[in-house]
Amino acid sequence: MTTPTIGELLTSATHDLAATSPTPRLDAELLLAHVLNWPRARLLAEYRHRPDAAQRSAFDQLRARRRAGEPVAYLVGHKEFYGLDLVVTPATLIPRPETELLVELALAEAQRISAQRSAHHTAPGALTIADIGTGSGAIAIALATHLPTALIYAVDLSPAALAVAAENIARYGLTARVHLLQGDLLSPLPAPVDIIVSNPPYTILADVEPHVRAYEPHLALDGGPNGMDVYRRLLAAAPAALRPGGTILLEIGAWQGAAVVALARATVPDADVRLHQDLAGHDRVVVVRSTGV
């Protein structure tokens, strides 16, 4: 048998991965590019190249792990999110494309609050944001790169996740403005903030897709028996941790819209509460604007 080309390796891996992955071709390309240490586009330009035996064996091992359900992001050690390339490990949830909506809405709130401030000539100083349950730091870093003067607290209970976030923050040169805090929800914050943003654990573990449940950290997924535990604690503590006129933005599961909106209305007095849908049309983010200037 002759040594296979890149094109042949990708074809056979795609066929093999189709048994368990919804994106077999993409997975095969990402894994092979990782093994060769090439950008993915180069695979297509050089599809007649023949990887050597060590590279083929490394690729076969990753392909087998992927076939068994291990997420590609953990196999290659990084994931694209909001135009950023982030290091991820099994200590962190893998950033999801839906969460980009949370970032977009938080950026819009940041602009709105800043504009309101300058119109009222009040409260000079940097806009402050808390990303609660930062994991890999995805949300905090995406916000920091688009808000060049904001001060961001990235909070997580998991020291292992914070180590990953620290690496990502350093990679993007943001250590001066993104501060890591270890602890439970809002408790580590040194002072009230303008914006609280969070993609908290909200799933009902028993209902989670089996590969997600098998590989991703339960600390980042488990929202208790009905997925509401963390929202309850977070919203109860939020008014005291928010500056007047501040906003809370929460990612939610597609089935949780009504419950989280009702909880927000009950726990944050006089708030303007709105539900937003992601690109797939699913309820995905609840925005809670508190009143006051």
Both structure tokens of 162: 């914070």
For the chain, list the strands marked E by DSSP: 78-81, 84-87, 128-132, 151-156, 178-182, 193-198, 242-251, 272-277, 283-289
By CB under 6 A, tell whether 201 contacts ligand GLN: yes
By CB under 6 A, tell whether 81 contacts ligand GLN: no
By CB under 6 A, tell whether 247 contacts ligand GLN: no
Q: How far is the CB of 93 from ligand GLN (least distance, A)?
A: 6
Both structure tokens of 89: 């490990």
Comparing CB distances to ligand GLN, the nearer of 98 and 167 is 98
Comparing CB distances to ligand GLN, the nearer of 82 and 202 is 202
Size of the site for ligand GLN (CB under 6 A): 10
The terminus-to-terminus CA distance of the chain in angstroms comes to 73
By CB under 6 A, tell whether 163 contacts ligand GLN: no
Do 57 and 10 touch, CB atoms closer than 8 A? no
Among 134, 136, 203, 256, binds ligand GLN (CB under 6 A): 203
Comparing CB distances to ligand GLN, the nearer of 212 and 273 is 212
The 3-state secondary structure of 70-104, one letter per residue = CCHHHHHCEEEECCEEEECCCCCCCCCCCHHHHHH
Segment contacting ligand GLN by CB under 6 A, of 76-84, 109-117, 194-202, 242-250? 194-202
How buried is 260 (Cβ within 10 angstroms: 0-12 exposed, 13-18 middle, 19+ buried)? buried
Comparing CB distances to ligand GLN, the nearer of 59 and 202 is 202
Q: Which residues contact 280 (CB under 8 A, 6 or more apart)?
A: 98
Q: How far is the CB of 94 from ligand GLN (least distance, A)?
A: 9
By CB under 6 A, tell whether 221 contacts ligand GLN: yes
Comparing CB distances to ligand GLN, the nearer of 9 and 93 is 93
Residue ranges that bind ligand GLN, judged by CB under 6 A: 93, 96, 199-203, 208, 212, 221
